[in-house]
C-alpha cells in the first residue's frame, strides 16, 4: 500500500461510472468509492466479487425453521398437549398444517435479524463508530474515488482530471 491516495470528487453518477471504467482500463487499482446512494453497476465496473450474504441468510432461515419445529413439537405435543377445536395433539404430523404459519414466521425472523447482525459485523458498523468517509459531501451530492499512488502522483492526477472530476486532491493514506 502506498503512503498517498488521490481523491477525485464527481458530481454525477454517470461521469463516475465512465471514470471508473477509464481508470480500470489504465490498470490502476481503485481503493474505495464513496457514494451518497447506490450506483447500479458500480460493483461490476470496479471488478468486485459477489457477496455471500445470501448463503448465510439461507443458513439462518434453516436455523429458524429448525427452532420453530422443535419449539412447536415440545410445546404443543410433548409438554402440554391440548384438544383445540376437537383436534387432539397426538403427533406433530397430524397438526403440522396448523404450524406452517409459525414455521414461516420464525424462518423469516431468524433469517432477517441474523442477516442484519452479520452484515453489521462484516462491515464493522458498531454503535457510536466514527464515520470513515473522507469528505462530508459524499453523504449529500458528490461521489469520491480513491486511487492509491505508487510514486506516480502526477500521472494519476492527470488521469482523474481527464475523467471529469470536479476536484482532485492528494492526501496521506491512513489505512
pLDDT tens by residue, 17-37: 999 999 999 999 999 999 999
Q: Which of helix, strand or coil describes residue 103?
A: helix
What pLDDT was estimated at residue 1?
A: 46
Task: Supply 17's cell numbers.
Answer: 461510472
Contact 140, 36 (CB under 8 A): yes
- 94 or 100, which is more confident? 100
Buried b (16+ CB within 10 A) or exposed e, 104-135: eebbeebbeebbeeeeeeeeeeeeeeeeeebb
Look at residue 97 in the predicted model and tell me its pLDDT: 84
Q: How confident is the model at residue 77 (pLDDT cuts 50, 70, 90)?
A: confident
- 162 CB-near residues (< 8 Å, 6+ apart): 22
Q: Which residues face 84 on adjacent strands?
A: 87
* 133 neighbors 139 (Cβ within 8 angstroms): yes
Is the domain covering 4-50+132-172 a CATH 3.30.70 domain? yes
Q: Are strands 4-10 and 143-148 parallel, antiparallel or unpaired?
A: antiparallel
pLDDT tens digits, one per residue of 125-160: 888 888 888 888 888 999 999 999 888 888 999 999
Interval 52-64 mean pLDDT:
94
Report d(CA 145, CA 161) in Å as an integer: 12
Q: How far apart are CA 71 and CA 64, in angstroms?
A: 10
Amino acid at each position: 500500500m502506498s503512503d498517498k491516495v488521490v481523491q477525485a470528487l464527481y458530481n454525477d453518477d454517470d461521469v463516475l461510472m465512465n471514470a471508473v471504467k477509464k481508470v480500470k482500463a489504465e490498470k490502476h487499482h481503485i481503493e474505495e468509492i464513496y457514494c451518497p446512494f447506490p450506483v447500479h453497476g458500480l460493483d461490476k465496473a470496479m471488478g468486485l466479487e459477489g457477496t455471500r450474504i445470501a448463503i448465510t441468510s439461507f443458513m439462518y432461515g434453516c436455523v429458524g425453521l429448525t427452532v420453530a419445529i422443535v419449539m412447536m413439537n415440545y410445546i404443543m405435543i410433548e409438554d402440554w398437549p391440548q384438544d383445540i377445536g376437537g383436534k387432539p395433539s397426538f403427533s406433530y404430523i397430524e397438526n403440522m398444517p396448523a404450524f406452517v404459519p409459525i414455521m414461516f414466521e420464525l424462518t423469516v425472523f431468524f433469517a432477517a435479524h441474523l442477516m442484519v447482525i452479520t452484515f453489521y459485523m462484516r462491515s464493522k458498523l458498531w454503535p457510536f463508530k466514527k464515520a470513515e468517509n473522507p469528505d462530508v459531501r459524499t453523504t449529500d451530492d458528490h461521489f469520491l474515488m480513491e486511487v492509491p499512488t505508487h510514486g506516480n502522483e502526477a500521472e494519476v492526477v492527470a488521469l482523474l482530471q481527464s475523467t471529469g472530476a470536479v476536484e482532485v486532491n492528494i492526501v496521506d493514506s491512513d489505512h
